[in-house]
Structure 1
Amino acid sequence: MLKRLFPSIYVNSIYDIKFEELYNEGYRGIIFDIDNTLVSYDTKHPDERIVTLMEMLKGVGFNVALVSNNNRIRVQTFNEKLQLKAYHKALKPMTRKIKIAMQAISTDRSNTILVGDQIFTDIYGGNRLGLKTILVIPISEKEEWITKIKRNTEKKIIKAYLKRVNKNAAKH
């Protein structure tokens, strides 16, 4: 069970992801969470750096979607500049909206990446579908109370994940 909570990749931020390498490995779709993955929880609109990143990803050949557990107004407001396929109230780790997003961006389990900041929602949801999952360090400590409660357990899982990664790296 613990392995289902481990990300495929763990990075500091979305800007540390090697997107071109992932494209060269055959990945064609990226599904991003919004809050504390792309921007802080209380940031309404993407900044120019996010807009530029999304344009770069499309230029490389990726199809991109947003899947958030947040409400419709939050997701629509954030997506005004980006104009991506975007889904709200996803109820991650449930997989229904992730599957809908993959269909909308014409990808499948074998060539889709899910990027998020939470283990119990984003990573577990993506892993349930067999996607490549990328965990990023949350942008801000400001978040909903329920998320704050889960963060202590997430820290223990990340510690176990890093221990496993380091053990495997020592073998090679």
Structure 2
Amino acid sequence: MSIEDYIPTFVVEAVYDLRPAALRAQGIKAVLVDLDNTLIAWNNPDGTPELRGWLDEMTEAGLPVVVVSNNKQSRVERAVERFGVDFVSRAMKPFAYGINKAIARYGFDRDEVVMVGDQLMTDIRAAHRAGIRSILVRPLVTSDAWNTKFNRFRERRVLRKIEDTYGQLTYRRQLSEVAHDVSREITD
């Protein structure tokens, strides 16, 4: 395992902070997004008015949003059906399966897609494996489902290694502000 495989391209407070103009400025034309604790709180499957507003903003701007979740189909479908968002369930993150399936389904260009998620161990790692950029966001709630708690333990260890090597990741309110240009340091 290389810690570079877990370094996000960007670090942003919340998915709702992503604006179409900032995404386009980065050449992003499609957003793949994790479901639990990224788009909605894992324990609130009905979402929020803020979610509806963000999805409407993306739709009006012509930026497709596709949920890529490890959850089963019925869980994801129930959470997103009222919002008219397509999804890939049983995505098998940290593997690239779900991301690749979404990219193939829509014919997205990998250079124009970003994966947004709250976990280094699944979302960010899967984005690296799929060869696309990633955005790490803070989890919407501090509690996790039982099956995520193990990943959080491992994630804290990996995050400590990243920050020991490259410095602290700083969550920003805008995509245009790169939290820490770790990728440049790795390639230099």
Q: Distance in 1 between matches of 2:107 and 2:152?
A: 33
Partner of 1:48: 49
Q: Is the 8 A contact 1:29 1:102 kept in 2?
A: no
Secondary structure at the counterpart of residue 32 of structure 2: strand
- Deviates further, 47-56 or 144-153: 144-153
Q: Distance in 1 between matches of 2:138 and 2:181?
A: 22
RMSD: 2.1
Structure 2 unmatched runs, 5+ = 169-179
Deviation, structure 1 residue 53: 0.4
CA separation of 1:55 and 1:42: change in aligned 2, threshold 3 A: same
Q: Distance in 2 between matches of 1:13 and 1:140?
A: 11
> 4+ residue stretches of structure 1 with deviation over 6 A?
none
Deviation, structure 1 residue 54: 0.8
Partner of 2:171: none
Amino acid at match of 2:159: I
Matches within 5 A, 1:160-171: 160-162=161-163, 164=166
CA separation of 1:168 and 1:6: change in aligned 2, threshold 3 A: closer
CA separation of 1:27 and 1:165: change in aligned 2, threshold 3 A: farther
Q: Distance in 2 between matches of 1:20 and 1:40?
A: 26
Q: Distance in 2 between matches of 1:141 and 1:29?
A: 28
Partner of 2:141: 140
Q: Is the 8 A contact 1:95 1:125 kept in 2?
A: yes
Deviation, structure 1 residue 69: 0.4
Structure 1 unmatched runs, 5+ = none
Q: Distance in 1 between matches of 2:55 and 2:38?
A: 14
CA separation of 1:168 and 1:34: change in aligned 2, threshold 3 A: closer
Partner of 2:130: 129
Partner of 1:156: 157
Q: Distance in 2 between matches of 1:145 and 1:152?
A: 12
Q: Distance in 2 between matches of 1:87 and 1:51?
A: 19
Aligned residues: 170
Deviation, structure 1 residue 159: 3.7
